[in-house]
Amino acid sequence: MGVIQRVVKPRTKRGKRILLKKQPKIVENTKHCVFIPGRKSSLSVSNCMKDLLKLKKPDAVMLTQKNDILPFDDAVQIEKLLQKHDSSLFIFSSHNKKRPNNLVLGRTYDQHILDMFELGIESYKGCSEFKGLSEISAGVKPVLIFLGEQFDSDQQLKRLRNLFVDMFQRQPLKQIRPNGIEHVISITAVDNKILFRSYRTILSKTTLKTPRVELKEVGPSVDFVVRRDHMASPDLFKTACKRPNVKGKKIKSVRRDGFGSKLGRLHMTKQDVNSLQTRKMKGLKKTFAEKKLKRKSDADKNGPVVKKPKVAPATQTKKLKKFSKKGRKLKGGQV
């Protein structure tokens, strides 16, 4: 019988806050990535790891100690490292005679390995080789462009594309200004290779309202080839992508249609339509014959109309004012 692990409850408020941050959330934080150096790595692999770290900062950390890990044979050590740093993404570097210049990209779900892809570096050009432009600012949300029909037809590359989106996406934004689009990452699938390119956007003024956009390559420029992979089953992947239904406080008389539009129902008192003030037009005015006919019909229904006797108005004293022939008021009793 296995030993039951003891549940350690937090003793301080700080420890409680840390555990609450690690719990699952409906709206997840930006995914954190751990860069793990293997037992042996070449210079190009190390430089490529550093350049990818620049693109992922500040949501990434590089481990300094080398780790003797075989991800496809035993991934328990990687899972422990990710759990320690509260991360769900990792990039592992290795180099040997059988598989030189190797990078393993992966992610976890529920603290267990979900997907892993082994990419071999065939050609590499670092950021230091691209001169003339400043480096990309840390934390900038990049524009991801995927080119190639294989990303839609090949199931392996479909999952790899999804992993790249997880790796380089930031917090979702509702609005963004044109100057905020500073970084573009292009990933192309052609001839069984994955071409990774990084560009900086340059906006130049034009006669139109929209500026002219130019792309300048800033690195890194890497040509990958896919070697081994470990993909989750379709059921597990579907479970990992499932979003919980958020049941908020029910609002009366409010619903959403099939297109997501918000509809509301208003409850109002009964209105007397006959008493509404409408626009009076001369063409719609009743004629004398119509008025006479209406009075006759009302008399037939309700009987003859008895006219009330007119009451003489109260006499009012009017002050006489004297005016001259020109219309000017005279003073005193002048005539």
Cα end-to-end distance, the chain, whole Å? 131
> In angstroms, rounded to a whole number, what is the distance separating the alpha carbons of residues 94 and 37?
7
**Across 31-40, 109-118, 173-182, least confident range:** 173-182
284 DSSP assignment: G
CA-based nearest residue to 225, from 127, 118, 146:
118
Tokens of 30: 């930006």
20 DSSP assignment: H
- State pLDDT tens for residues 136-168: 777 888 999 999 999 999 999 999 999 999 999
Q: Does pLDDT of 317 surpass 90? A: no
For the ranges 2-11, 200-209, 309-318, the maximum mean pLDDT occurs at: 200-209
Q: Does pLDDT of 327 surpass 70? A: no
Q: Output phi, psi for 115, to 5 deg.
A: -135, 145
pTM for the model: 0.68
Q: HEC string of 25-78?
A: CCCCCCCCEEEEEECCCCHHHHHHHHHHHHHHCCCEEECCCCECCCCCCCCHHH
Pairing of strands 254-256, 212-217: unpaired
pLDDT in the model for residue 335: 47
- State pLDDT tens for residues 107-117: 998 888 999 99
CA-based nearest residue to 103, from 188, 167, 147:
167
CA-based nearest residue to 251, from 237, 235, 260, 264:
264
Pairing of strands 102-109, 112-125: antiparallel
8 DSSP assignment: P
- State pLDDT tens for residues 202-231: 888 888 888 888 888 888 999 999 999 999
pLDDT band at 10, cuts 50/70/90? confident
> In angstroms, rounded to a whole number, what is the distance separating the alpha carbons of residues 107 and 255?
38
Q: Does pLDDT of 120 surpass 90? A: yes
Q: Determine contact, residues 156/196, Cβ cutoff 8 Å.
A: no
Q: Where are the alpha helices (DSSP H) in 68-208?
A: 76-84, 150-153, 155-168
Average pLDDT, the chain: 83
Q: Determine contact, residues 59/277, Cβ cutoff 8 Å.
A: no
Cα 225 off chain centre by: 32
275-280: average pLDDT: 75
Report all structural domains of the chain as residue ranges with CATH numbers, in order of start: 27-241 (3.40.50.10480)
> Which amino acid is located at 149 in the chain?
E
Residue 124 host element (H or E): strand 112-125
Cα dihedral across residues 199, 200, 204, 209: positive or negative = positive
Pairing of strands 89-94, 33-37: parallel
Residue 92 host element (H or E): strand 89-94
pLDDT in the model for residue 29: 78
Cα 326 off chain centre by: 81
For the ranges 184-198, 245-259, 271-285, the maximum mean pLDDT occurs at: 184-198
Q: Does pLDDT of 135 surpass 60? A: yes
Tokens of 127: 């950021």
Tokens of 185: 């990452």
Q: Determine contact, residues 210/197, Cβ cutoff 8 Å.
A: no
Angle at alpha carbon of residue 190, lines to 186 and 193, rounded to 5°: 85
CA-based radius of gyration for the chain:
40
Q: In sequence order, what are the beta bridge partners of 107?
A: 89, 115
pLDDT band at 1, cuts 50/70/90? very low
pLDDT in the model for residue 158: 92
Residue 230 host element (H or E): strand 221-230
